[in-house]
Amino acid sequence: KAGVTQTPRYLIKTRGQQVTLSCSPISGHRSVSWYQQTPGQGLQFLFEYFSETQRNKGNFPGRFSGRQFSNSRSEMNVSTLELGDSALYLCASSSPGTSGGKEFFGPGTRLTVL
């Protein structure tokens, strides 16, 4: 099976702009989670989608939003970018009952905000 894919891999934006990141999960996986990784902060949970519905949400401002499509692909949007949004954004997919609770991560999108 192909792994989790994320596009684009690298992105440079300026403050105030908005950005959309894309994630394609492993075939058959219906759950997609998004994480932000910054130095010293580990992986901070953004949100999880399951069957097109947001199931869990982390403590991020409303500028961070997401959605999931019927084919389980997911997008994450960040509006009004701030310098502090520079981070590696990771997407992970899982399938309750078949992946044993494990999440499988994509390579991430490195976002730099100037």
Partner 1 sequence: DQQVKQNSPSLSVQEGRISILNCDYTNSMFDYFLWYKKYPAEGPTFLISISSIKDKNEDGRFTVFLNKSAKHLSLHIVPSQPGDSAVYFCAARFGNEKLTFGTGTRLTIIP
Residues in contact with partner 1 by the rule CB under 8 A: 4, 33, 35, 40-43, 45, 48, 55-56, 58, 90, 92, 96, 100-108, 110
- State the Cα angle at 104 between 95 and 112, rounded to 5°: 130
Q: Give least dist CB 48 to partner 1, A.
A: 6
Query: Which residue shows structure tokens 């947001």?
Result: 54
Q: Give least dist CB 39 to partner 1, A.
A: 10
Nearer to partner 1, 18 or 56 (CB): 56
Burial of 20 (0-12, 13-18, 19+ CB in 10 A): middle
CB 66 within 8 A of CB 53: no
Nearer to partner 1, 41 or 70 (CB): 41
Q: Give least dist CB 37 to partner 1, A.
A: 9
